[in-house]
Structure 1
Amino acid sequence: MDQVTALPALEQPASRADRVYDSLRRAILEGTLPPGRALVERELGEMLGVSKTPVREALKLLRSTGLVEMNAYQGVSVRRLDEHTVSEVYTARSTVEPAAVRLAVERHDVPDWTSARQTLEEAETLRRRGETTSLVIANRRFHRELYAGCGNDLLCGFLDQLQDLTAFVATAGWRVRATFEQEAAEHEAMLRSAEAGDAAEAERLTRAHIDGATRTLLEMFRGAEPQA
């Protein structure tokens, strides 16, 4: 088993389980806990200075995001990545997210796009600093700012469930081929269309953005062994 000497420092969300979840989530996205890595409650608890109970609760939350998976004999490990996983995640996004963005732009009572603009500016700062993990999280927040105003809780809930898994796939892809600048330019175009109230163009650009990322990621993963 690979040895992990340190995990990201615990931050201060609401509960101890939340703090453990936040640390493990970030470790997975950063690759400190790589795909295929076994997640043993006792070992993780010792690393983080907590009992097994909040670790167990955190792992349940991580399972719901798709970042970890159950193995034989009820073992838990970081999800392995392969072409099939990439295709499933991005096909689901391409089918639903562009329509949700269009609905958000069409709604007259949707809030302004100030938060989306601020998030995009934050992402640009992170890109310049080379803070990859924080950047991918900011990018996911930006996407949510675009679709969250669609007025359909089912659509938002579905897309929210994909957020962490999308970040996981994107981060793994960036380690092979960095596409930061291209994605930043596409995000800017998507936001400008939303700000202009052009729902059809915002939908088109969102779909093109997701489909382009799909092609790039599949080229990276196609024919490769599952990441472990």
Structure 2
Amino acid sequence: MEGRPFSEPAKASLARTLAPRVAERTTLVDQVAHRIRREIILGTLDPGRHLVEKRLAEDLSVSRGTVREALTRLASTGLVEFSPGSGNRVRYFSDGDINEIGEVFAALEGRAAMHAVVPPSKSVEKELRRIAERMRGLRLPDDVDDLMALDRQFHGTLLNQQSNAKLIEAWQSLESLLAVMMVPIMRRGVGTADIQADRHLLLVDAAMTGEPELLIKGLEQHYYQA
């Protein structure tokens, strides 16, 4: 686990994808953090891997300071852990850890469902179904970034059907943990685009029943399946 962080194919991929994102990402640190995060989710950087600043800086053609700041950001999201004396490593998450994170999101969104207007309007239903169907056209794992963006958009739209701002703030404060839940989905090969689309459409169906209890149950199943 002390070898070079990226294989030669991975390094080539990094070089191709970093540059075009300059206009999209606010800073170079954002880009570097994004790329390391992506490789962790896809499993190129496996749990326990020692993330050496100097080697990462060489592989990504950036300064060590940029890498250091990117790793600090990733540590704050939980994907990377820092230990004095040993530096940064890719954090290992057990199945139990993933389940607990799922329980937190199910609880938050379930509570929001109790305050939500259900069934949502036809325009909201149409938007939710549109987002879910867009997932179906993705190619995983290559399009994992797009999947995560659509997932956030879907759940954000669902959350906005209620007026408790604190619930939304709590969800947003934990949003980075959604990346953690994506790790086992991608690594075990169970996260096909069709499966992800269908899982979200089940939530739309539950919301359209007009029964908050069914939506809450649907959210629990949604996150526990993850």
Specify the TM-score bucket, using the shorter chain as the normaliser: 0.7 to 0.9
Moved over 6 A (4+): none
Task: Give the Å deviation of 1:75.
Answer: 0.9
Q: Which amino acid aligns with 1:185?
A: D
What's the CA shift string for 1:126-173, capped at 9, x where partnerless?
15x664624641334423332244433433333334444333333324
2:53, 2:165 → 1: CA distance? 34
Question: What is aligned with 2:136?
Answer: 124
Question: What is aligned with 1:2?
Answer: 3
Q: What is the TM-score normalised by the length of structure 2? A: 0.76
Give the conservation status (yes or no) of the 8 Å contact 1:133–1:171: no
1:19, 1:200 → 2: CA distance? 41
Residues 33-182 of structure 1: pairs in structure 2 closer than 5 A: 33-73=45-85, 75-105=87-117, 112-113=124-125, 115-126=127-138, 131=142, 133-134=144-145, 136-137=147-148, 138-176=150-188, 178=190, 180=192, 181-182=194-195
Give the conservation status (yes or no) of the 8 Å contact 1:89–1:162: no
1:55, 1:165 → 2: CA distance? 21
1:172, 1:26 → 2: CA distance? 13
User: Does the residue aligned with 1:76 lie in a helix, a strand or coil?
Assistant: strand
1:174, 1:166 → 2: CA distance? 13
Which residues of structure 1 form unaligned runs of 5+? Answer: 214-228
What's the CA shift string for 1:81-130, capped at 9, x where partnerless?
21342233122223222222443445999x93554333212211115x66
Question: What is aligned with 2:214?
Answer: 201
Say what the alpha-carbon RMSD is for the aligned residues: 3.0
Task: Give the Å deviation of 1:14.
Answer: 0.8
User: Does the residue aligned with 1:77 lie in a helix, a strand or coil?
Assistant: strand
Range that drifts further, 133-142 or 200-209: 133-142
Q: Sequence identity of aligned pairs in percent? A: 28
Give the conservation status (yes or no) of the 8 Å contact 1:105–1:150: yes
Range that drifts further, 30-39 or 93-102: 93-102
What's the CA shift string for 1:171-223, capped at 9, x where partnerless?
3244335154454323102123435654333222112222344xxxxxxxxxx
Q: What is the TM-score normalised by the length of structure 1? A: 0.75
Give the conservation status (yes or no) of the 8 Å contact 1:136–1:170: no
